[in-house]
């Protein structure tokens, strides 16, 4: 079970309170987690990554275990602590705007 | 008794304003989708409880929301706006080729007879259609792939398709307008398109009378006379009486012919409303006076409508999609400002009063007349 913390606006959009938990079959990568999120919550499609190019939206970042994972390949395995559910994957909106 | 429902899109959410036919006491609900930019909301003429909203964010991209109960509850529907085939390039601000990139939906236009059919005008400019209530979207790519496409260039606000008029008399005829490409018409339900900009003169482009490149801000049409179109261009208020084949200027005695919205009275096809703005670099009313101008002669002769509007120290703007009319008698006219006011006139513009005054900057205003 993978734990994901979404920004407030995406929690509202998906009707979620607090963390969301998703199951991933196979290697636990960023792409697999986002895929599982989008499958469980179709309203999130396009809000984290572009639906056509699958590029991360520019003003979002992926953090886990005090590291910025945003720039690594989406197919890179996530840290073991995320894969085991010990630590959450954080989807974070950039500090900008009002 | 009739009622009206005013749908207001703002920089930080949507608001729904309702009143009975007297239009004196208003109920304000919202914000819906608080914190998101709501470029446009519009109801289906075929089912007034079916509403669509364009919800967008610099962080999270585009979401389309749909309501089946007049805006009380909403559900997110499809938001995949994928250009059909190779995207090609348009001109960037510096004149270099730039690939088409989807940014947001500026305008939603539900079809008159089917609540599940809706058109979306997007940035970078293209027209999409859904026939399943917004679940899936297909591009009408004949517009974007018009041979003039590589010459289109964004205005300061982006290269947006902001106006969609579905001709009530000629099946399959659609008008659209793009900043800064100009106006286009299809006579075959969106399969093929041609520019309709003859008569437009724009000093901001090298060839002032070019076939494309004009910064059209808005086009309005009266349903009873669909071949007559009124246009607010970057500068100039224009009129066509031949479905856009040719245009002539009708700015007449306006204090300035720069502006964004334009609309037509619900029952008088020659009564037209604009909101003059000082200039292209000073987006506020001249002399600090917020004045709607009305022509009862289809242009040229304009009168200032000021009763109830601030006549000193007012420096707001009224954006292109932020004016609408209801279908009651007398006709109601509504507009929203970047200062967060929504003004209404239940007397065709003779007198005005604010419905609400402290919203986020208003981007769009639409009105539904409900029986």
Measured between CA atoms, how close is A97 to chain B, in angstroms?
9
**Contact indicator for A30, A69 with CB cutoff of 8 Å:** yes
Can you tell me the ipTM of this complex? 0.93
Collapsing DSSP to helix, strand or coil, B290 comes out as coil
Total number of domains constituting chain B = 1
Say whether A47 and B80 touch across the interface (CB within 8 A): no
Which tokens go with B201? 């003169």
**Contact indicator for B13, B31 with CB cutoff of 8 Å:** yes
Task: Collect all residues with Cβ–Cβ distance below 8 Å to B94 and sequence separation of at least 6.
Answer: none
- Which CATH number is B97's domain given? 2.130.10.10
Residues of chain B contacting residue A50, judged by C-beta atoms under 8 Å apart: 61
Residues of chain A contacting residue B35, judged by C-beta atoms under 8 Å apart: 9
Residues of chain A contacting residue B62, judged by C-beta atoms under 8 Å apart: 46
Q: Measured between CB atoms, does A97 come within 8 Å of chain B?
A: yes
Which tokens go with B297? 């002669």
The 10s digit of each residue's pLDDT in B340-368 is 999 999 999 999 999 999 999 999 999 99
Fold of A2-93: Ubiquitin-like (UB roll) (3.10.20)
Task: Collect all residues with Cβ–Cβ distance below 8 Å to B11 and sequence separation of at least 6.
Answer: B37, B360, B361, B363
Select from B58, B63, B80 the Cβ nearest to the Cβ of A13: B63
| A96 pLDDT more than 80 | no
Percentage of chain B exceeding pLDDT 70:
100
Return the domain boundaries, chain A.
2-93
CA–CA distance, B178 with B186 (Å, rounded to integer) = 14
The 10s digit of each residue's pLDDT in B45-102 is 999 999 999 999 999 999 999 999 999 999 999 999 999 999 999 999 998 999 999 9
Q: What is the pLDDT of residue B142?
A: 98
Residue B155 structural domain: 3-370
Q: What is the pLDDT of residue B226?
A: 97
Select from A9, A42, A96 the Cβ nearest to the Cβ of B60: A9
């Amino acid at each position: 079970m993978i734990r994901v913390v979404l920004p407030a606006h995406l929690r509202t959009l998906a009707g979620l309170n607090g963390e969301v938990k998703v199951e991933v079959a196979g290697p636990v990568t960023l792409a697999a987690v986002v895929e599982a999120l989008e499958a469980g919550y179709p309203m999130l499609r396009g809000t984290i990554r572009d639906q056509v190019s699958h590029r991360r939206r520019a003003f979002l970042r992926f953090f886990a275990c005090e590291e910025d994972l945003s720039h690594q390949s989406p197919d890179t395995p996530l840290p073991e602590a995320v894969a085991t559910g010990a630590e959450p994957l954080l989807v974070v909106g950039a500090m900008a705007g009002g | 008794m009739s009622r009206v429902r005013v749908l207001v899109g703002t920089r930080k959410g949507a608001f729904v304003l309702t009143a009975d036919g007297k239009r004196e006491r208003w109920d304000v609900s919202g914000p819906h989708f608080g914190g998101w930019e709501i470029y446009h909301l519009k109801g289906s003429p075929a089912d007034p409880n079916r509403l669509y909203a364009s919800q967008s964010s610099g962080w999270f991209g585009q979401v389309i929301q749909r309501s089946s109960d007049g805006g009380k509850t909403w559900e997110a529907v499809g938001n995949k706006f994928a250009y059909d085939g190779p995207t090609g390039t348009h001109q960037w601000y510096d004149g270099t080729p730039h690939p088409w990139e989807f940014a947001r939906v500026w305008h939603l236009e539900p079809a008159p007879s089917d609540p599940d059919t809706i058109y979306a005008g997007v940035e970078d400019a293209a027209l999409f259609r859904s026939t399943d209530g917004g679940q899936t979207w297909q591009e009408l790519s004949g517009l974007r792939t018009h041979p003039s496409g590589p010459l289109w260039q964004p205005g300061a606000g982006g290269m947006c398709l902001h106006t969609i008029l579905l001709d009530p008399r000629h099946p399959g005829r659609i008008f659209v307008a793009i900043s800064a490409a100009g106006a286009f018409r299809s006579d075959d339900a969106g399969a093929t398109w041609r520019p309709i900009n003859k008569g437009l003169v724009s000093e901001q482009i090298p060839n002032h009378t070019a076939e494309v490149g004009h910064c059209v801000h808005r086009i309005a049409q009266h349903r009873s006379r669909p071949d007559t179109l009124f246009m607010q261009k970057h500068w100039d208020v224009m009129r066509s009486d031949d479905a856009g084949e040719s245009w002539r200027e009708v700015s007449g005695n306006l204090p300035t012919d720069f502006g964004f919205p334009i609309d037509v009275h619900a029952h008088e096809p020659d009564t037209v409303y604009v909101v003059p703005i000082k200039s292209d670099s000073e987006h506020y009313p001249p002399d600090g006076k917020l004045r709607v101008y009305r022509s009862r002669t289809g242009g040229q002769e304009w009168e200032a409508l000021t009763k109830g509007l601030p006549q000193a120290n007012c420096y707001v703007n009224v954006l292109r999609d932020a004016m609408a009319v209801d279908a009651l008698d007398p006709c109601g006219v509504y507009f929203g400002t970047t200062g967060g006011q929504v003004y209404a006139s239940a007397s065709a513009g003779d007198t005005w009063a604010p419905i609400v005054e402290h919203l986020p900057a208003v981007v769009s205003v639409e009105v539904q007349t409900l029986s």
